[in-house]
Structure 1
């Protein structure tokens, strides 16, 4: 049986993911290899574990029995890893982490590099995307999320805040009268971010606030695309400060209404309350919070 422990772990991953292809993507092998692994396991046991159809997989009675036992085995193994990590000075393991793409070059990524240097026996698989991800369904151990959090059973910890800048390409801004208040930007072109409301609110130090919507011909789902189109002088936009700063310094972008402030965006780490690698996840989150000053 010991030769088939990996087969059983792959079987559980196929059930969890709902298909050979999804399990193969998660494990990092070809779908044909996953399919052959399940076939070999069925041959070893002398029974069918999965009904295969063109649309979905379904567990047989024997498959349900084995899946229940295998998940118990995997939970016990993960608990063992967690206990070892808790009792050793050198944590060991791997974490899959989802991160907003616009933070690829940022203090956060620098903190992750520092974590790897501090813990050389820990591996990070980092997936940078601005799209919303489902942590459990997509096989992540945790996700770094920007913005407000929805109510859920997930654990979370604030890592910091992301300052934002209201900017436009220097050529575009130079073709317009210098704005003195948000309302002056209503007839400007805007580059919109799909994950953000159309209306933005800006505030002065005295507490006075104003909202502006403007008009838009371009809407994107990537903060990096916002940055690119702003550099192409397509209009005003709101960028994370880490994207805006260098081009503002070079003169390619111009800050608009510098006396008006945009609310910062919260940066949070989010993970399942029953994390597979609880101690390693908590170590990682606490390290990031410390590096980012939170």
Structure 2
């Protein structure tokens, strides 16, 4: 029975790591033993679980169908062991998670070292990508998004809602009049972070809606780049709050038009509707809810 459990563990790690040698190192067994475990499971299931070539090892459709059941079983076994020891079960294995580029770099990647300290049996592959189309097809167990994927059925839960902020450097404001109304932005160099898109921006305030067209000599397709340009005094930028919160608090950047609002940016975590949510994914979600949720409470208090 112990050998069979080790075989299931080897199979689960093969799905995550894709290498006999990597699985062997993680489980503390030889590469040949890993290969024998996989062969035994294939014989038991009567189906090939991995396609092997000289260059790579790829899971079959049968392997993906089996994986969720195996992971449930391994999680249940770890829970039983932890219960006997009077401990909480540990999250283990590889979590492959998709993160939006700007949000990931600014807000989530800096938290990863602490998360791994709390979960020493886990590894993370954080893929910075904007516009995930299909979680399952792209091999992600979990994604943090600001817009839902266009394909595949997913479950979505909101982590935090951010505001767009209008910012400029003290240097820029020392030689330009500070805008008091949204319409005043039309008189300023506003760095566009949506490329050549000149769609009007609709600001809401207690005085109603103001639709403005921004003007400026600089444009980019990156919120982070627009923010860096604003910090260097090149103009005013309109960027997600996660980029500017720390600099606003320290005074390195100035928040403008605090009583004028653009549509909010909901940041959510999503996972496939048909996919079992592993303990490692739940641990990561709980960690982000605690850290990002705490940040929101501190910002609004």
Equivalence map 1:118-129=2 (5 Å): 119-127=118-126, 129=128
Equivalence map 1:66-215=2 (5 Å): 67-84=60-77, 87=80, 89-94=88-93, 95-100=95-100, 101-106=102-107, 115-117=115-117, 119-127=118-126, 129=128, 131-133=130-132, 134-147=134-147, 152-194=152-194, 198-199=198-199, 200-205=201-206, 207-215=208-216
State the distance in 2 between where 1:90 and 1:7 align: 19
Native 8 Å contact 1:201 1:212 kept in 2: no
Indicate yes or no: 2:270 matched with 1:270: yes
Native 8 Å contact 1:166 1:239 kept in 2: yes
State the distance in 2 between where 1:288 and 1:196 align: 34
State the distance in 2 between where 1:11 and 1:122 align: 16
Residues 33-78 of structure 1: per-residue CA shift (max 9 Å, x gap): xxxx9xx99xx99xxx9799xxxx9x9xxxxxx9355444434422
State the distance in 1 between where 2:249 and 2:235 align: 18
State the distance in 2 between where 1:226 and 1:278 align: 38
Counterpart secondary structure, 1:271: strand
Native 8 Å contact 2:192 2:216 kept in 1: no
Residues 57-101 of structure 1: per-residue CA shift (max 9 Å, x gap): 9x9xxxxxx935544443442232243355552233231222234
Per the alignment, residue 46 of structure 2 pairs with: none
Structure 1 runs not aligned, ≥5 long: 15-22, 29-36, 60-65
Q: TM-score, normalised by structure 1?
A: 0.65
| Counterparts in 2 of 1:116 and 1:261: CA distance versus 1, 3 Å | same
Q: TM-score, normalised by structure 2?
A: 0.64
Q: How many corresponding residue pairs? A: 261
Native 8 Å contact 1:85 1:279 kept in 2: no
State the distance in 2 between where 1:122 and 1:186 align: 53
Native 8 Å contact 1:104 1:128 kept in 2: no
| Counterparts in 2 of 1:136 and 1:70: CA distance versus 1, 3 Å | closer
Higher relative CO (CA 8 A, sep ≥ 6), structure 1 or 2?
Answer: 1
| Counterparts in 2 of 1:197 and 1:148: CA distance versus 1, 3 Å | farther
Larger CA deviation: 92-101 vs 155-164: 92-101
| Counterparts in 2 of 1:284 and 1:194: CA distance versus 1, 3 Å | same
Equivalence map 1:32-43=2 (5 Å): none
Equivalence map 1:1-40=2 (5 Å): none
Per the alignment, residue 31 of structure 1 pairs with: none
Native 8 Å contact 1:159 1:289 kept in 2: yes
Per the alignment, residue 259 of structure 1 pairs with: 259
State the distance in 1 between where 2:283 and 2:153 align: 20
Indicate yes or no: 2:211 matched with 1:218: no
Structure 2 runs not aligned, ≥5 long: 24-31, 43-49, 297-301
Native 8 Å contact 1:85 1:280 kept in 2: no
Q: What is the Cα deviation at residue 177 of structure 1?
A: 3.0
Q: What is the Cα deviation at residue 162 of structure 1?
A: 1.7
State the distance in 2 between where 1:83 and 1:130 align: 33
State the distance in 1 between where 2:196 and 2:136 align: 24
State the distance in 2 between where 1:12 and 1:120 align: 20
